Chains A and B, each alone.
Chain A
Amino acid sequence: MKVQEVIRRVAEGETEAFETIVQQYQQKIYMFCYFMLGHRQEAEDAAQEVFFKAYRSLSNYNHESEDMFLAWLYRIASNYCNTLLKRKKKGQLLLLLFRSIRDEQSAEQAYAEQEDHRLDWLQGMTAEEKEILALRVIEDKPFDEISVILDISSATVRKRFQRIRLKLKNNKEQWEGTIYEQRFESQ
């Protein structure tokens, strides 16, 4: 079913038609939220909230194209994840006081965290930089086309891309340094 058709049906009171939209786009939005937040459960909760927000704003969406609809969902997801990240940053200091909570993670969580170490390089990226990378991976489109999804100029995307390159260089050096230090300690 086409998005416009679903929107029309929802507007006419057929609420359940919205489920089609959720099922169609949930995996992409979940992945996007995961790359933004770096945590599976948080990403799942965020994806849920993104679709609920989309539902409440559905009457404001008036583009014809399906691609534009996905771009619109990404914008909602991006705004929501940005808000969460800002809140998270504020709460980091408080979290340090309750460090023992981290020790109580399940084996599944521990495995997931181990798995996600390959995303350590994402640390230090701003939300705007993360969203470019996330869309590059999920949509598999060049950076220029990502500017269309994000509704920003390609010059801005290029600028952000340059910052990513620079940060990755620094992050990698830091990361390699950390590995070396850990190996040294284990000897």
Chain B
Amino acid sequence: MNNDSKVNELIQGMKEVRIGEVDVSGKVMQQVRNYQYRNKVPQQRRSYGVKLIWTLAGALLLITTATVSAATYFNVNWNGVSVKIEPPDTTVDAFLDHSQQPYTQQLETALANAEEVWKKVTTEEAALHYSFLPLKAADPEYSLETSYGVVPQERDYRVKSADEWWLGGLYEIYSWKGHVIVVRQNLDGEMTRTLQDPHATMSLTFNEGPWESIDMTGDSLAMYLPGQLENLLVVKHATVDRKVVTLELRADIAKEQLVRLAELYVNTD
């Protein structure tokens, strides 16, 4: 018996297995209704895509176009973008970062598991893929250990599920007083379009986590999210050529230190 007929035999065997009918629709819809209730998902919401979102510990950054109905305790207009923080549901701790691995390790694992989708390239090569001038931080106090870009194997690649990480961007990894700081930057296409088009409107909602707004310069919007192992600072910076660059800084250091490094980046623009 040759190998092909063995494959055919297995396939035939699989076809003959009586699996039976299943109906999970009731259970799924109950789960959906509970989710709707718990998260107070706003009506008329449209996402511009998860590709700019790093789904760290379930913390979701939702870009929306219409007014949200959920209660908000932070609401500000930044360069024409309505920015809100929704209070986290304190009855669940899903938003907390339960990962037991530092971000650098998670990143390496994610890259290794997605070799067919992503490739690591030099920062020079990455610059060919990304249409923005990367922000730079120059301070001898922070020692740049390595830098690289991550680009999709296929130029128009889109993530396939909420569990999949969008790994694209420019990465710079620093050592500072024995800590490792990872900085990722990317162009925020939707916010750039909104910034450049006076008729465009959009809103940006930070939810499912104890996000905290951080005061930075007028050209930057910063949000801080504490984690169990590492903290995250997200900065949206409007550059002089009217583009919005997203900076994500992660490390097991204090909020103030993350903000300080972020300011080094935005002040060089």
Contacts and interface: CB of A to CB of B under 8 A. Distances in A.
A87 B78 CA distance: 44
Contacts of B16: 118
A48 B43 contact: no
Interface string B1-24: 001101100110111111111111
Interface of A: 11-13, 15-16, 18-19, 22-23, 26-27, 30-31, 34-35, 40, 43-44, 47-48, 51-57, 59-60, 62, 72, 75-76, 79-80, 115-116, 118-119, 121-122, 133-134, 136-137, 151-153, 156, 161, 164-166, 168-169, 172
B102 interface: no
B46 A59 contact: yes
A15 B47 contact: no
Interface residues of B, number: 42
Contacts of B116: 152-153, 156
A60 B23 contact: no
Interface of B: 3-4, 6-7, 10-11, 13-25, 27-29, 31-33, 35-36, 43-47, 49-50, 116, 158-164
Contacts of B45: 11, 59
A26 B31 CA distance: 15
B14 A35 contact: yes
A54 B19 CA distance: 23
Given A26-B23, A26-B25, A116 B6 contact: no
Given A19-B29, A48-B28, A137-B11, A79 B22 contact: no
B168 to A, nearest CB: 15
Contacts of B13: 118-119, 121
A145 B159 CA distance: 21
A43 B10 CA distance: 20
Contacts of B32: 15, 18, 52, 55
A133 B14 contact: yes
Contact of B6 (A13, A35, A76, A168): A168
Contacts of B159: 60
A47 B3 CA distance: 32
Nearest to B157: A151
B25 A118 contact: no
A172 B5 CA distance: 12
A118 B17 contact: yes
16 contacts: A12-B44, A13-B43, A22-B24, A22-B25, A23-B23, A23-B25, A31-B19, A40-B20, A44-B24, A76-B163, A79-B161, A118-B13, A118-B17, A119-B14, A165-B4, A168-B6
